[in-house]
Structures are given as structure tokens and as C-alpha cells.
Chain A
Amino acid sequence: MIGYSLKRLASAIPTLFLLITVAFFLIRIAPGGPFDTERALPPEIEANLAAKYHLDEPLVVQYARYLWQIARFDLGPSFHYLDWSINDLISQGAPVSFTLGLLALIVALLIGVPVGAWAALRQNRPSDYAVMSTAMIGISVPNFVMAPLLILLFAITLGWLPAGGWAFEPSRMVLPVVTLALPMIAYIARITRGSMIEVLHSSFIRTARAKGMPEREVLLHHALKPALLPVISYLGPAAAAILTGSVVVERIFTIPGIGSYFVQGALNRDYTLVMGVVILYGVLIILFNFMVDLLYAWLDPRIRYDEGET
């Protein structure tokens, strides 16, 4: 197991390197630069700005400089938010996005899994259809529709919750977390239902039942665990996505997370910011996929990594 883990982590390095390389050159292809404005700068000042940020060097030199920088865990200065470094921006925004994302993830799991399992047990009955069509709506209603509706209802009409803004306090988190969690609840419920149905039809469940095991035990112990496998593989990338924040939710609720930096960074040609969030996202994806694989091994007795190697 440890050998496998080390191998997996080592293989992450070339992946990240590739990611950084591609992203670095892609963002530079975009027309325009970080210091282009409607107010034309005198050429001398433009040249000085370029020199200050090393934009006057050949791209390959800039690339090497950048690699050397990130090897020392320094993501560089922001080209747009002049008073801050990328490390500052991400360390301020990431806790916000992580908190929201984690809460949404927990909510989604706590609701999605039981609802999905419950629907599976009532397969093709009216209650199953009701739950699954609700889930379909949850998936289809985009968050830029859901969020304003929630604000209109709970913040403006009822006045129960704030319409946006951020602080580490429950009232400010409810609406964004709900907005983030709703489609995930629906996804997880659907996935759980599907795989649960499959598992319930498999021979080991039949065996368990034949042994006279109590139904409760059969479901919780034997059925749920393997039924969760597809949910887990969905969760890997989904967790990375949700923890790095959502552009839409951040805009609508004015939340200072890092989700908007993907878009803002690209629009402002804030090269280092784009790179910073790309690297963070890449690291998280690699990390979560790795964790998913480990969880798989734990949940599914058929998968044991170290044995397979002999």
C-alpha cells in the first residue's frame, strides 16, 4: 500500500509539470497584456512596467524563472492586484472557498446518499419517481437561476438571511452552501440509486439474505458499501471543483473565494493569478483522485493494490 502510494505521488510530478507548462504558454497566447488599458501609457512607462515584471524577457526565460519561483512555493506577484502576491490572494480566498465547498459536500452526502438509497429500495414506485424527478430538477436548474431565487425569497421577501457578503458565520453561509449543494445532492442521489439497485440484484446480497441476515444488516453492511463506489469516483473531481470555489456563487453572493479568480485572472491577463489557481486546482484533482483510489481499495475487497503487483 505504501509503495503504491509513493508511486502514485511520484507520478503526480510530471503531470503537474505538464499542466504548468501548457497553462503557462496558453495564457500567453491570449491577445493583450496585463497592463493594457483604455488610457494609453507613455511607451517609457510601459517599458518600465514590462521590465519590472520581467515581461520584456524571452518567453522561455520567463518560463524558467517561473518554474524556479514555484519550486520555492512562491507564486509570484499579481499583475492586476498590485498590492498583493498570488500567495496572499490564494491564502485569503482559499479558506473561504474550502469552508463553503466542504460544507456543501457534507450536506450533499448527508442528504444525497440516504435519499438515493431510499429511492433504490422503492424502485419504480411512485415515491421513487418523485425523488428522482426532484433530483432531475436539481440537476437541471443552474445555480445562476437558483441563487437569485433563494436571495429573493429568503433575503429580500422574508428577510431571514443576508442577501450576500461574507463572514465566518452560519447565517451568511446558508444560502451559498444550499446553492452549491443542491445539484450535488441530486447527482449523488441519482448515482447512489443506480448503483444500489445494481448491488441489490447481485449474488452476494442474495447469499446474505439466504443466510438469514437481518435486512437492515444486509443493506447497511453489504449493499451500501459497494454501492458507494461510483459516488466516490464522482466525488474525487467534484470535490476538487467545489473546494476551489464557484464563479457564479461567488459573484451572486459576493463571496471572496478563489472561484472568481479563474475568470477574473483570465480577463485581466493576470498571468500569475491564472497560473496560481490552475496549479492549486491541479494539485487538488491529483490529490483527490489518489484518495478516491485509496478509498476504493478500502471499500472494495476485490481491489488490493500491492497484491496486484506481484
Chain B
Amino acid sequence: MAFAVSALSAPGAGPGLSLGAGAGLWRPLIEALAARGAIEARFTERRYFSFRREPTVLKGVIRVSDDRGVSLGYTDPEVTTVIVDSAGLIVRDRKGRDREMAAGSKEAGAVVSLLPILRFDADTLDSLFDTQVSMEGSGWKLEFTPRDPRAARTLGSITVWGTLTEVARIEFRRSASQRIEIEVGETRTGVVFSAAELSRYFRRPAPR
């Protein structure tokens, strides 16, 4: 970790570093973030719409598992779980009923991008996004722009702010009036999810 931070603090890191120019510098940070293992964190999500003056605010718990994907467990205003994994996207309602969506569908939207981003999967990020890294104060900022122009038009850009190995904020931005901000609160790393939690918050095995 110290290596990652020192690498970012090096003169070459500058205000913004693209993948091609500084892979050797930003990779240690990505690898350190990826090595955190399973994570559980509280979050507050603010959704900004072009037709609404105030953002819509949602709260919940985010869970990241190396092998089971990412789970956004909304608790307020409605209980809903959104699961993103390598097989696609699932929306689970409060009764536990699943609705599956194709990962590339319009319905699934930007949320599927959370999987490679929150896992900090360097190879996948490299294949899907043009990545810019920069320092902001005592922390860092990773800005991902989809390489596919169509996805870039639909999703806009995704920015992740953090300090050391903590992610502080994620923003999906199509425009100033259309964006989502996710503020990540108290975070626990190296979490071991129980079988009940895995079943409740992640994809369940298909019935035989």
C-alpha cells in the first residue's frame, strides 16, 4: 500500500495519468484496492434528474465479494437488492423475488459497470474503459470513460474518489443534471459473508 501511495505521489503522477502513459504507476494502486477482499460498506446514493430540482436520496449497504460480485442492498426508501455479477444483473424485491436483466440491456444501465470498478479488476477495466488517474488533496481520483462510444454516450463517465485503499465516492455522470453520486460511508474490509448473507444478497444457485 505504501508503495501505491508513494507511486502516486511521484512527480510523474501529475494531475492526470492515462493508462498507456503510466500503467506502472497506477497499477499498484489498483492492485492494492483489488487485494482488499470482500467489503461491506454503508452508502448514500443521490440521483439527479433533469426534470427534478432536488436529488432523490437512497440509502443502503454495499457488499463486494471476489467471486460473487457486487450487491447493493437498498434499505431506504424501499427494500431492494441489486446484484451485479459475471452472469448479469438481478433486481431482488423485498419478498426475495428475482428479476434478471441482460447485462447489456438499457434497463441494467450503468450499474453493471460497478462490478469491474468495485473489484478493481485491472484487466477488465483496461479492456472496457479509458482510465485517468490523478491526485486530489490527500486522496486519489480514478476517472473511467467507456471505450465503446455508444456506451460512453449512454453511461457518460464514472469517477471514483478515495484515500489510501478506501473508496469515498463514486459518480456516474451523463451531464450536470443527470448523474448519480454514491457516498461510501463506514467500510469493513476482509469480510466473510455467512451462507445466509450470500443467499440473501447475492445470486442464488439455479434450482436443479
- A and B, one complex? no
- Residues of chain A having any CB pair with chain B under 8 Å: none
- Residues of chain B having any CB pair with chain A under 8 Å: none
